[in-house]
Structure 1
Amino acid sequence: MIKGLYEAHLPVENLDNSMEFYKKLGLKMAWRDEETAFFWIEEGKSWLGLWEGNEYQTLYHPSLRHIAFQVSYEDLKESLKWLGSIEVEGVPFGSRKSIEPFIRPNQGNASVYFKDPDGNSLELMCYVEVPNNLKHITEKLSFEDWEKLAKN
């Protein structure tokens, strides 16, 4: 029945300002009206709606105001360089101090985090093939540590 994600939405304070930010990320404009703009994540498949209003003041929680964009493993390894090239800074996830991308072996994925101009949490994320003997690891690993461990 379910084939994928069609849309997601984020609140923003200033639609014009936020539109410029999401264009820098490489998202293509689908349509816009006075208080709303939609950007294609995958053209013809999924989009992100930005809604101007006071809701941007809602305190962040992982269940609110968060979007994860799927990227390749190799792109994630270079994500901080790419973010820097468009003048966007990475942020630490949770209680981590590092902004570096990391692997979650027990979940089979990897991530790096950053924020939009309104403090919405954004994530670049990819799937990671994890051998069965490493799926028990709940620690978040650097790419360097993961690649050493996965080789053995």
Structure 2
Amino acid sequence: MIKGLYEAHLPVSHLETSIDFYQRLGLKLAHRKGSIAFLWIEKEKSWLGLWECEQVKIPYHPSIRHIAFQVDLEDIQKTKAWLEERNIEVREAFGFLPEHQPLVLPNNPQAHASIYFRDPDDNSLELIAPLRIDVVEDFEMMSLDDWYKQKGLSLD
């Protein structure tokens, strides 16, 4: 029945600034009317709704102001440079400084590599790539580089 997530929404304070920001991430403007815009994440599969409104001033909480965009594992090592090329700064996450990201999230029985940044309204954004699914393995959160070393794997 359910095939995936079609849409997610974020509050923004200045629609034009936010449209520009998300277009720098590669999203394509699908529709804009008044204080609302929709951008394709993947055309005909998923989009992001941006709502210019006062609610952007509510305190951050991941349940209401966080979006994780999936990327391929092959691309996760390139994401920091890719963001920097677009003048987007990687932020500290879970005590890991930008230079130690991507980091590995041990959410058993899954593990994911992630890198974190913010949009112009301080909404939390994440680029995430699955490392393993349905495998229980206890370990502490660590940088992806350290995870590869621990596994005896090469980054190439």
- Under a length normalisation based on structure 2, what TM-score does the superposition of the two structures give? 0.89
| Deviation (angstroms), 1:97 | 3.8
Q: Which runs of 5+ in 1 are unaligned?
A: none
Partner of 1:115: 118
Task: Please give the residue correspondences for 1:1-152 in structure 2 after superposition, counting only pairs within 5 Å.
Answer: 1-94=1-94, 96-99=95-98, 100-105=101-106, 106=108, 107-129=110-132, 132=135, 135-137=137-139, 139-151=140-152
In structure 1, distance between residues paired with 2:7 and 2:19: 17
| Deviation (angstroms), 1:112 | 0.5
C-alpha distance after superposition, 1:6-30 (max 9, x if no partner)? 1000000010111000010010111
C-alpha distance after superposition, 1:52-96 (max 9, x if no partner)? 0101101101111110000011211111111100000001113x1
RMSD: 1.6
| Deviation (angstroms), 1:130 | 6.7
- Secondary structure of the residue aligned to 1:128 is strand
Look up the equivalent residue of 1:143 and give its one-letter code.
L
Q: Could you list the runs of 4 or more consecutive aligned residues of structure 1 that deviate by over 3 angstroms after TM superposition?
A: none
Identity rate of aligned residues, in percent? 48
Look up the equivalent residue of 1:55 and give its one-letter code.
Q
